[in-house]
Amino acid sequence: MRKLLSSCMAVTLVLAIIAFGCNDKNVIPAKQYAVEDFFRNPEKVNFTLSPDGKYYAYMAPYKDRLNVFVQEIGKTEAVRLTSDTARSISDFFWGSNNRILYLKDTGGDENYKLFGVDISGANLKGLTDFEKVRTTIIDDLPDIDEFVIVGLNKRNPQIFDPYRLDINTGELTMLAENPGNITAWITDHDGKLRLAISISDGVNNSLLYRNTEKDQFKTIITTSFKETLNPAFFTFDNKNLYAISNLGRDKTAVVEFNLEAGKEEKVLYENPQYDVDQLNYSRARKVLTGARYTSWKRERHFFDGGFEKLINDLKAKLGDIEFGITSSSKAEDVRIVLASSDKSSGTYYLYDQKTGKLEKIADITPWLDVNEMASMVPIEYKSRDGLIINGYLTLPKGYTIENAKNMAVIVNPHGGPWYRDQWGFNPEIQFLANKGYAILQMNFRGSTGYGKEFWQASFKQWGKTMQNDITDGVNWLIDKGIADKKKIAIYGASYGGYATLSGVAFTPDVYAAAVDYVGVSNLFTFMKTIPPYWKPMLEMMYEMVGDPLKDSVLLREASPVFFAKEIKTPLFVAQGANDPRVNINESNQMVEALKSRGVTVEYMVKQNEGHGFYNQENQFDFYNSMEKFLARYLKEDKK
Catalytic residues: 494, 579, 611
Q: Which residues contact 43 (CB under 8 A, 6 or more apart)?
A: 60, 61, 362, 363, 364, 365, 366
Q: Which long-range contacts (CB under 8 A, 24 or more apart) does 343-349 make?
A: 343/370, 343/371, 343/373, 343/374, 343/375, 343/425, 343/430, 344/370, 344/373, 344/425, 345/42, 345/425, 345/427, 346/425, 348/44, 348/47, 349/318
- Length reported for the chain: 639
The SS3 call for residue 444 is coil
Where would I find the H helices in 507-598? 523-528, 538-544, 552-557, 584-595
Radius of gyration over every alpha carbon of the chain, rounded to an integer in angstroms: 25
**Nearest partner of 280 among 349, 327, 344, 340, judged by Cα:** 327
Q: Which residues of 622-637 are buried (b: 16+ CB within 10 A; e: fewer)?
A: bbebbbebbbebbeee
What does residue 464 show for φ and ψ, rounded to 5 degrees?
-115, -110
What does residue 513 show for φ and ψ, rounded to 5 degrees?
-160, 160
Cβ atoms of 243 and 235 closer than 8 Å: no
The SS3 call for residue 472 is helix
**Nearest partner of 121 among 61, 86, 62, 78, judged by Cα:** 78
CB half-sphere exposure, 373, CA atoms < 13 A: 24
Q: How many CB atoms lie within 10 A of CB 392?
A: 23
Give CA–CA dist 67/558, Å, rounded.
42
